[in-house]
Amino acid sequence: KAGVTQTPRYLIKTRGQQVTLSCSPISGHRSVSWYQQTPGQGLQFLFEYFSETQRNKGNFPGRFSGRQFSNSRSEMNVSTLELGDSALYLCASSPMGRGTYEQYFGPGTRLTVT
């Protein structure tokens, strides 16, 4: 099976702009989670979608949002970008919606905000 894919891989935006990142899970996986990785804060959970519904949400401001489509593909959106949003954004998919299942990570999207 093809692994989790994320597009684009690299992105440069300016403060105040908005950005949309895309994630295609492994075929058959219904859960998609998003994480932000920064040198200072490490890996932090953003949100999880399962069957087009947001199941869990991390402690991020409302500028961060996401959605999942009927084919399980997911997008996350960040509005009014700030310099501190520069990070590697990882997407992970899992067959089901519980933590006992392995999460498969994508390569990430590197977002730079200038």
Binding site for other proteins (CB under 8 A): 3-4, 31, 33, 35, 42-45, 48, 50, 55-56, 58, 90, 92, 94, 97-107
Least distance in angstroms from the C-beta of 47 to other proteins: 9
Residue 60 φ/ψ, nearest 5 degrees: -120, 155
Q: Which is nearer to other proteins, 58 or 86 (CB)?
A: 58
Sign of CA dihedral 5, 81, 40, 60: negative
Closest CA to 39 of 80, 79, 88: 88
Q: Which is nearer to other proteins, 4 or 19 (CB)?
A: 4
Least distance in angstroms from the C-beta of 4 to other proteins: 8
Q: Which is nearer to other proteins, 44 or 65 (CB)?
A: 44
SS3 84: helix
Closest CA to 71 of 107, 33, 22, 30: 30
Least distance in angstroms from the C-beta of 90 to other proteins: 7
